[in-house]
Amino acid sequence: MKKIPTEKLLLFKTCLVSTEYPGVESSTTFLFDQLGIEYHRDERQSCCSGLGYYYDLFDQLPTTVLAARNFYIARETGHPYITAMCATCYAILKKAAKILEENDEARNLVNQMLDDSGLGHMAYHKGDMDPHKKIFHTAEVLHSKRKEIEAFPKIDFSQYSIATHHGCHYCKIHYHDTICGVRNPLLLDEVAASCGVSTIDWYDQKRLTCGAGFGQRFTNNELSLKVTAEKLMSLKDNQTDILLHMCPNCQMQFDRYQPVIEKKLNTNLNIFHLNISQFMALAMGADPYKVVGIQTHTVPVEPLLKKLGIDTVQKSLKNFKLKINE
């Protein structure tokens, strides 16, 4: 298994985490702090550009230029290892690093564009970012800390049936860098196990895409939701209570559209959606609102909290309103 660093990490911020589920980032930093993982976040870091690239708004070149700039920031801050909270960022950064490492013509063109933009000091040199040894998903970092996680007191989730969704951009692009399998991916299952949770493991349609397909969500919405519904119905057949994610785009597709699919199919799915970091932070006692950020979810997580004996937002809002009135 590849060596996964737990220090000198640049925690790569992602567009969809920041705008849709900011609790994923705060949950990740909560876990990293608890586990003694050394990391840095940098306000100069830009988007990986994956959304624009996969929506066919621009080609590989600007994506690679931005990656070279972000790689420079990682090196310049003394955090040469990158860990991404998004499977798309993970895949995009690895692809860009591979191009910069192996394609001399592309690397020279990228450096020329940086120089023309007054950023010549950010030029990429071969060996600056090994795509196999320096770019990781945060779930991999957490996986490397399983033994330490087991030692923390945790909330008991044994009453729930829990399944995992690993995301195409982690399992289906860089096969040789994926850990814990690609045919039956078990990365999230093994991380969840460190919290004392036994997942469903294999279920019909486990490897099926979320259905988002980036532009397909909007230009071919009916087909997109049909795929999403197929996976959700498979999860329902397995009596799933919680689905764990590692990609904010996948989480969006399931969480935002589950109510739509329930209405269309005239059924109740009753599945809660949590990123693996949100789930682990919640299990380790993090505040469900200030850290886990469940208030940004479309499928309400409050019923889950109630069953777990955790105070719901209604109490927090009541106290907040009292302070305002005072």
- Please write the tens of the pLDDT for every residue from 142-178: 999 999 999 998 999 999 999 999 999 999 999 899 9
Cα–Cα distance, 318 to 306 (Å, whole number): 17
CA of residue 294 relative to chain centroid, distance: 15
* pLDDT of 315: 52
Strands 272-275 and 242-245: parallel
C-alpha distance across the termini of the chain, in Å: 58
* pLDDT of 313: 52
Alpha-helical runs (H) found in 158-300: 168-171, 187-193, 216-219, 221-237, 248-265, 276-283
Tokens of 291: 């850290």
Whether 101 shows a pLDDT value over 80: the answer reads yes
Please give the average per-residue pLDDT across 227-256, as a whole number.
97
* Angle, alpha carbons 97-101-103 (nearest 5°): 110
pLDDT tens digits along 7-42: 999 999 999 999 999 999 999 999 999 999 999 999
How far are the Cα atoms of 57, 212, 225, 256 from residue 220, in angstroms, in the given order? 17, 10, 9, 17
Whether 287 shows a pLDDT value over 80: the answer reads yes
Please give the average per-residue pLDDT across 119-133, as a whole number.
97
Average confidence score pLDDT of the chain = 93
Pair 210, 245: CB distance under 8 Å: no
Please give the average per-residue pLDDT across 52-81, as a whole number.
95
CA of residue 26 relative to chain centroid, distance: 12
* pLDDT of 214: 85
* pLDDT of 96: 98
Tokens of 59: 């080609």
- Give the domains, in start order, of the chain with CATH numbers: 9-138 (1.20.1050.140), 154-316 (3.40.50.11810)
Model-wide pTM > 0.85:
yes
Please give the average per-residue pLDDT across 226-233, as a whole number.
97
Please give the average per-residue pLDDT across 88-103, as a whole number.
97
Pair 216, 137: CB distance under 8 Å: no
Cα–Cα distance, 237 to 258 (Å, whole number): 15
CB atoms inside a 10 Å sphere around CB 265: 13
Cα–Cα distance, 110 to 106 (Å, whole number): 6
